[in-house]
Structure 1
Amino acid sequence: MSKFVTLTCEWCDDEYERHPANADDSRFCSRDCQISNRQEEGNYVSGEDHPKWKGGNGRETLRERVLERDNYTCQRCGSESDDVRTQAEVNLHCHHIIPKAAGGPDVMENAVTLCERCHKRVHRERSNIHETAPELLAELREVVCE
């Protein structure tokens, strides 16, 4: 006795199997069929039109874009890293100016390149910025979030 049920894809008419717990929500055999269906219905949104789009070409992470913008240089002490070997030695980090835990957005304007040493120091000194300096946090939010 099979633990799966056989369904028919609404897009390509191929048969596929799903666990009974997932069968009621399943309409397509693959992500490709789901996307093709959405594109035909006009419901598929990607890139700049997608509400969660954060910029870039989709291949670079926020960290990669921030490090490139900051010329692979710690913005606190000036340590540089311009190739993979020196990046490992300097160990650059992407730091959120307004911590994500304090409601900071995951965007370029809220990020800065710091070396590992400076990143640790900033977190030691500013880990509770929302408690110790609420006025500074409010000012940062004004600049970064609007």
Structure 2
Amino acid sequence: MRRLFTPSQEAEICKRYIAKESTSVIANSLGTGHRVINGVLKRNNIAIRTRGRYISVDYNLIFTLYKQGLSDGEIAGKLNCTKGLVQSAIYKKKPEIRRGRSEAIKISQRTKNRKWVNGKPELRGSKNPLWKGGKTELSQAIRADALYKKWRSNIFERDEYICQDCGDKSAPGNKVILHADHIIPLHELIDIHRLKTIEQSRNCESLWDISNGRTLCRSCHKKTATYRVNRHIK
């Protein structure tokens, strides 16, 4: 088999590897692959170490460079180690980085907000200035009630399981997810009739009036102004 390197070049490769340079770093500097370097080492009876076992790198330094905006590859080149070792160091130091920096910020903010409220009992529940009378809990209880499930089924049957906006319906090979949409939103009905408990809700005829409902496919439902988040967008 023809060798890619001369004996003197192979000797230099072995010398660099013994000096704790990785096969990837050596390969990159010579414009070849790490497997070629592994072959050179084997031919010269150099034991190939397990990745990262003999490379001594300051994990705190890696994380400091990462926070300065350097990429994994730039840090690896600067510290003469592999990208895998850099990524491992970063993940061990701060696991949430695996989800991406923006997501890590969101997670951190959610945790901060939760701790802030949990640490202030005087701001929980009805004591919070943003309290709306427990409408969220009541809405969830209504949606879990048997009367709501019957109301939903009645709307689907009346509309023959067809989206009243786009006309789509389930067929072989085309499953359509249907929603029972409130024309007057549920949270507004709770306000209008001043409902506070599930018992009051069960006795409210307007809440179960199927004329206030329509069948929509999931896509059409998401386009409505009253769909969950959309109703908060002005």
Whose strand fraction is larger, Structure 1's or Structure 2's? 1
Which structure's relative contact order is higher, taking Cα pairs within 8 Å and 6+ residues apart?
1
**Common fold by TM > 0.5:** no
For normalisation by structure 2, the TM-score amounts to 0.25
Alignment TM-score, normalising by the size of structure 1: 0.39
Question: Which is higher, the Rg of structure 1 or of structure 2?
Answer: 2
